[in-house]
Chain A
Amino acid sequence: MDKDVLELKRMANRLRQDILTMLVPAKSGHPGGSLSAAEIVTVLYFREMRLRPQEPHWSERDRFVLSKGHAAPVLYAALAEKGYFPREELLGLRQTGRMLQGHPDMKKTPGVDMSTGSLGQGLSAANGMALAGKLDKKDYRVYVLLGDGEMAEGQVWEAAMASAHFKLDNLTAILDLNGLQIDGRTDEVMSSAPLPEKWRAFGWHVIEVDGHDVGALQRALAEARTTAGRPTILIAKTVKGKGVSFMENAVGWHGAAPNAEQGQQGLKELREEAVHLG
């Protein structure tokens, strides 16, 4: 396997282990949609984005908006790995007085660029950041991670229209297409298909990609960077709960934390994968 690919796969595995490690003591939270986005967040934070973890508000940094804010654990795991805050903070997730809120809070957590959690709102904020970059003639890029259940929010489409209208080619959206939401399969709860056609019709450059293939994700992000005159969306096919056998494609793991035993079982599987990755 390519050395870089292997390295990224190892990092995604680490983020997954961190997700379980922080959710067990938290006793609540969202493992499924955090695990599905591990490769996406890994590629963004460890390859694609220009960042200065020691200077979280650096004006030239690339921005990231986690519109599917319930996947906060995967973001926190990446931020801790990057050194935005001590790893011990991960064990304080969702606890009173601690910095890691149930959903991202930019006022409490270093490295969080926008407070999110109420679905449908992240792309609008990302639009504003991208417009600001154009106005200031700065070359930073703005990334936003959306969920597929979130596609039912009308504001997403208001925002999608505006990104294309203002030709925000410094903006890249990534859609974590894991196929499940709280109440069931997205195609049963509220069908949003066909998503590639919808985004194309809204004026976006669409790239369909395997959301667990770190090489393909990097190539897609590079294509987004060189696509001028319109925003790009990566429609990333993923498996909800990816990496933990009993969580994969299981609706019940959208918003339930593993207990200690389940956490141990999941960590055992992930450690075995890590050994396999060398």
Chain B
Amino acid sequence: MNVKEIKAPRVAYGETLVALGEETHSIVVLDADLAHATTTNLFGEKFPERFFNMGIAEQNLMGVASGLSLAGFVPFASTFAIFGSGRAFEQVRNTICYPKLNVKIGVTHAGVTVGEDGGSHQAIEDISLMRSIPNMTVVVPADAVETAKAVRAAAAYDGPVYLRIARPPAPVFIGEDSEFVIGKANVLREGKDICLCAAGLMVFKAMEAAEVLQASGIEATVVNFHTIKPIDKQLLLELAQKIDKMITVEEHSVIGGLGSAVAEVLSECRLATVKRIGVEDKFGQSGTPDQLLEAYGLTSANIVATAKAMLT
């Protein structure tokens, strides 16, 4: 695994919005008083006439984005994951998804790696909420490079997209030339014994785990499910024909996220056993991102232990 640099995915979010803004006039960006944290301030400084700070008012944020999209603009509405998916849930459902408007909800600070701000600010149920809404697409990029690809793919896609972007600096390991197609998961590594299905920052942990497992003679497949909805059902069924043990890994509750999406597909074919690694139906807390990942079992060591337990 080739780690090129350490970079926060959210910074790639802001940078890619600027790049898109230069390419097309139709990109507009809205934020709710978190522009420096989500990094949409980069776009705001470059294109002040196309940047709207809506203040701390996420419900209005989503509605205004819907109105802008109706005139042909491609709005990126940004805030933290907890507010974009939670505070404004019904606005997202009724004014964006119900009429299938072309609004992108770009949220940062997802999961426990929000860190010190604690459980009130750590969205661990947002994928579940967003995945349940008809017409919604849910994308969770693995690193900064993939975030850039995901932002571009979301802008090119016609319809609502929930982009869930991580806060902390993280290893950049996805290749610049890797393909990114919404709804098509990427197989990063192939092995016959067990399949690790991961999303977001957990893809890197799964790759680390696969290397450790290899040293113990266990060959793991690693799949990057950057799109949680629509889940890549075809790939999952193909994999399950070959490998009957799967582990899902996500920085999200074990209820309703990637683990659920994978289990929903595989429970209908009965080809594989699925173990879910995620936040075990509890809230987050204050701490450093690494301490919290450790506390909630979101580590390569836990993936290795879970895999070994499944194989014995």
Contacts and interface: CB of A to CB of B under 8 A. Distances in A.
Interface of A: 59, 63, 105-107, 113-115, 117-118, 120-133, 135-136, 154-155, 158-159, 161-162, 165-166
Contacts of B68: 128-129, 131-132, 135
Interface in B88-137: 90-91, 94-95, 98-100
Contacts of B70: 63, 113-114, 125, 128-129, 132
Contact of B60 (A113, A117, A159): A159
B258 to A, nearest CB: 29
B65 A128 contact: yes
Contacts, number: 105
Contact of B94 (A107, A117, A135, A159): A117
A106 B63 contact: no
Contacts of A154: 59
A124 B99 contact: no
A95 to B, nearest CB: 19
B64 interface: yes
A118 B90 CA distance: 9
B60 A127 contact: yes
B13 interface: no
Interface in B26-56: 28, 49-50, 52, 54-55
Contact of B59 (A115, A122, A155): A155
A154 B59 CA distance: 9
Contact of B99 (A107, A129, A132, A162): A107
A161 B63 CA distance: 14
A57 to B, nearest CB: 10
B73 interface: yes
A83 to B, nearest CB: 22
Interface of B: 28, 49-50, 52, 54-55, 57, 59-60, 62-73, 75, 90-91, 94-95, 98-100
B99 A127 contact: no
A124 B95 contact: yes
Contact of A162 (B54, B62, B72, B90): B54
B67 A129 contact: yes
Given A127-B60, A159-B64, A166-B52, 14 more contacts: A107-B100, A114-B99, A124-B67, A124-B91, A125-B63, A125-B64, A125-B95, A131-B52, A135-B28, A135-B50, A136-B71, A155-B91, A158-B55, A159-B63
Nearest to B54: A162
B67 A121 contact: no
A158 B64 CA distance: 11
Given A118-B90, A125-B63, A128-B63, A133 B71 contact: yes
Contacts of A118: 90, 94-95
B73 A132 contact: yes
A124 B60 contact: yes
A162 B67 contact: no
B16 to A, nearest CB: 21
B64 A128 contact: yes
A128 B52 CA distance: 10
CB-CB nearest 7 A-B residue pairs: A128-B67, A124-B63, A132-B71, A158-B57, A158-B60, A128-B64, A129-B67
A135 B73 contact: yes
